[in-house]
Structures are given as C-alpha cells and as structure tokens.
Structure 1
Amino acid sequence: MDTNALPPVVDADTWQRELDELRTREKAATRELDAIAAQRRRLPMVRMPEYVLDGADGPVRLADLFEGKKQLIVYNHMWFSGEEWQCSGCTGYTAQFTRLEFLDNYDARFVIVTQGPIEEALAYKHRVGNTMAWYSTANSPFGTDVGAAPGEGFAVNVFLRDGDTVYRTWHTTGRGTEQLSHTFALIDLLPYGRQEEWQDSPDGWPQSPTYSRWSAAKDIAAAYGPDSA
C-alpha cells in the first residue's frame, strides 16, 4: 500500500459540510432501498415442483428444508467436482453467517444448497468451519431450475411455503448478493475501499486486480475450520 496516498486535510467545519453533503445521498439511497424492498414484497411467485434433495440424514423434500418455517433463503453454493477447495467467494461469503437464530423471529430459515454430493459437501462444510445447514441437489434438478446448474455460478433464492406447497419469490446472483453481506459494507466504509481496479478511486489510491485481496478457501479453513485453534 502506498502510505502517501491520503485524503486532503481540511478544517473540521469543511469536513462536516462535505460529510453532510454525502449524508444527503446516503439517506436517498436508504429510501430507495426501502422502496425496492417494498416492491420485492409485492412480487408474484412461482409454484415449485416437489423436489427431493439430499441432507445429512438422507433424502429430504424441498418443503422440509423449511423445518416448519414459512420462509426460506437458499444460498446456492458453487461446486466443482474433484476439487479439494471450492469457490473462495462462496466459501468466504457463507463463512460470515454464524448466527442465524434471529431468523426464527421472522418465521424464516437460511440454508446452503450445493451441486456437490452430500458426503463431499458435508466434509467440505466441516473442513472450512461452516456452521450453516447444507443440502445437496446433485441428484435433483432443483439447482439447475433455480439458476445454479452444475459447474455454473452461485445464486440466492427465496421461497415461501404454504403447507407442503413451495413457491419461489425472489432470485439474484452476482453483485446482487452483496446486500446480504456485511463484509463489503464494512470494507466500503474504509478510505481506500475495496482497492480493486474497477472501483472509482482518487488518483494514487492503492488498487489491485479484482478478487486478489479475497481470502482463499484454504485460508478460510485455517481461520475457521476444526484445526484453526
């Protein structure tokens, strides 16, 4: 990092004035996010077939992934057959979700579904110290049908259950998943931001190739896995 790359130094009044200008935009963005969430709550939904996935205790119906809850968030984790270390982005992204009990108050659950065979998926979950519930769609068309086919990317899907009938209510992928992450939100607060080449930063700010600062799956395992202590 170039330690000479610094924001200009100003007096406190000038700093407060510019912060207030930024706050106006931040508040407008918050109101827009509220409006987007309101539109999301008004989306129609699609009835899903009766999929059967694989869980730690054997086959499990999609409706049973809810474990009695009405709402379900699914993170479709990328999976590459035969690889010891899976997608570092997915591994790092899901590693941050260590406390999900608060969703109980909202009649909701958050789980991972991957294309990997369940035995391999559970072994990987343990290796990297992931605490979420994992399921496999290796023997089901579910992953393909919700935008996460074998060898393809990740996705987030949201479902609503009415009895044994499941409906798909929302889907996103790519940078659309960032709103579910606290990591990017914290990094974006920093003066240097994500330090990636695509970002609009002042001249002289440290910038690196995209993804180059992301933790590798092996590093995440070292930090959170069973051998981390």
Structure 2
Amino acid sequence: MQPHQIVSREQWIAARKTLMAHEKELTAARERLAEERRALPWVKVDKDYVFDGPNGKVTLGDLFKGRPQLVVQHVMFAPDWEAACKSCSFWADGLDRMVPHLAARDTATVAISLAPIAKLEDFKAPMGWTFDWVSSGSNDFNRDYGVTFSPEQIATGKPMYNFGTTKIYGPELPGISVFYRNEAGEIFHTYSCFARGLDMMNAAYQYLDLTPLGRHEEGLPYPMDWVRLRDQYEPQATKGACCHG
C-alpha cells in the first residue's frame, strides 16, 4: 500500500466533499440504469421446468410461492462435485439473510444447481442456509439460462458466457436470473446477469470497496482465490490491541 497524504481534518472534509459529488453522480447513473433494466422487454417461458426439491418435484411456478417475482441464484454445483463453488457460496451467504426482506416486497428467492437434491441438502445444512434450493439436474434450465456448458461448447473456445461476450472457463459458471409471473400464471424471463454484473449483489465486496486496501486481490492467481467457505478461514493473528478492559 502506497503512503497516503496526511492532512488536517478541514482538508480531509474538503476532499471528502469532492468525492461525494462523484458518488452522487454514480447514484444518479445507477438509478437511471435501474430504470432501463426495469424497461427491458420480457421473454415468455414456454418450457415446463420441473425441479427436484427436498419434498419432491416442484415446477418453476411453484418456486414463486404465490408471489409475482422470483430471483434465482445460479449456484455452481455439478453432479459429480462434493461441494458447491466457494465463490458462489460467498454470494449465497449474503442472499440467505435477504430472503425475508425480499419476500416483504413480493419477491421469492431460490438457489438452483445441477447437483442431486441429496447433495444440495447435505451441503446446505452445515452452512446454516435457509433459502430454498432445488436441483435442475433433470431439465435444461441451467443450459437455457447460460450457466452450464457442454464439453463441445467449451472446446470451441468461442465466447458463449455472459450473452456471448465472455469465453467459457468451465462447465459451470455463476449467474442470477429474474422472472415475473402474472395473475394468469404466465411466467416471463425479465433479466439475467453474469460475471462482474454479479458484484453489486455481494455486500462484502461493497464494504471492502469502502476501505483503504479495497479488495486487495492484486497478485493472486485469480481475484477470488482468497475466498473460502465461511467456516474454513484460518484464524487471523491479532495485530495490536483493539480494545482494553
């Protein structure tokens, strides 16, 4: 970390106000973007997707739980894996505590993965997650919504992920998809995001972006190399006393 300029409190407040003006510009731009996102056209879902849940078969419509909106977290967990992707789990940790708040705004949430439901349940329990999690292993949902790729697709080397803008770097990739269900029971796909588009849903990253060190992922084999399942981080040595009795 490069040494920072040390200034008086008054000078710091002046600099902070300059930054605040830029932050307000970003806030306004973000609000305009959200309006554009809501104005996107929709695609009617014509396939009858049936998933495996902990209590049996469920349809895509069932996942709405009577609400008009559904947010799907595509969690990377292939059938032959013994655990879910640690990075997807990083996002899922945050999603779990949002479920009641989203439900209060007419929005259901669910995680969907290819792995068999027994594996999902075995992984979910020790993580303490309470959100709904179903298996798409018996249907084309993952492939249709751009998060699962065949060996043949990967072999082409062509960008197919993130609406054909990003090269496939594995058979399972992360994403979020949003659906709307009208009073007639018709379902529409309204939005999906992938890759860096997922950043805004990770509160931990947003907190790190407030700090002097930021995400400090420079020099790692890949940006999220540091991420672990939340119970697998090594205890950090105390660097100086933070409080006194």
Identical pairs, percent: 28
Report the Cα offset of residue 131 of structure 1.
2.0
| 8 Å CA contact retained: 1:114, 1:135 | yes
In structure 1, what residue type is equivalent to 2:6?
A: V
Residues in 2 aligned to 1:47 and 1:149: alpha-carbon distance in whole angstroms: 21
Residues in 1 aligned to 2:225 and 2:87: alpha-carbon distance in whole angstroms: 11
- Pairing 1:192-207 to 2, within 5 Å after superposition: 192-197=213-218
| 8 Å CA contact retained: 1:115, 1:138 | yes
Report the Cα offset of residue 217 of structure 1.
6.5
- String of CA shifts for 1:143-188, please: whole Å, max 9, x gaps: 1111122632011000000232210000001111111121111010
Report the Cα offset of residue 208 of structure 1.
4.4
- String of CA shifts for 1:183-206, please: whole Å, max 9, x gaps: 111010011100011xxxxxxxxx
Matched, 1:155 2:175: yes
Residues in 2 aligned to 1:96 and 1:40: alpha-carbon distance in whole angstroms: 22
RMSD of the alignment, in Å? 1.9
Which of 24, 29, 47 matches 1:27?
A: 24
- Pairing 1:81-160 to 2, within 5 Å after superposition: 81-99=79-97, 100-149=99-148, 151-160=171-180
Counterpart residue number, 2:153: none
Unaligned runs of 5+ in 1: 198-206, 221-229
Residues in 1 aligned to 2:220 and 2:87: alpha-carbon distance in whole angstroms: 17
Counterpart residue number, 2:243: none
> What TM-score, normalized to structure 1?
0.85
Report the Cα offset of residue 64 of structure 1.
0.7
In structure 2, what residue type is equivalent to 1:107?
A: D
| 8 Å CA contact retained: 1:76, 1:112 | yes
Counterpart residue number, 1:186: 207
Unaligned runs of 5+ in 2: 150-170, 234-245
| 8 Å CA contact retained: 2:82, 2:119 | no
Matched, 1:61 2:74: no
> What TM-score, normalized to structure 2?
0.79
- String of CA shifts for 1:56-94, please: whole Å, max 9, x gaps: 111111011001000000001111333323211001110
Report the CA distance shift for 1:41/1:13 in structure 2 as closer, same or farther (over 3 A). same
Report the CA distance shift for 1:218/1:144 in structure 2 as closer, same or farther (over 3 A). farther
Residues in 1 aligned to 2:129 and 2:90: alpha-carbon distance in whole angstroms: 9
Partner-residue secondary structure (3-state), 1:148: coil
| 8 Å CA contact retained: 2:178, 2:191 | yes
Q: Which moved more, 1:49-58 or 1:67-76?
A: 49-58
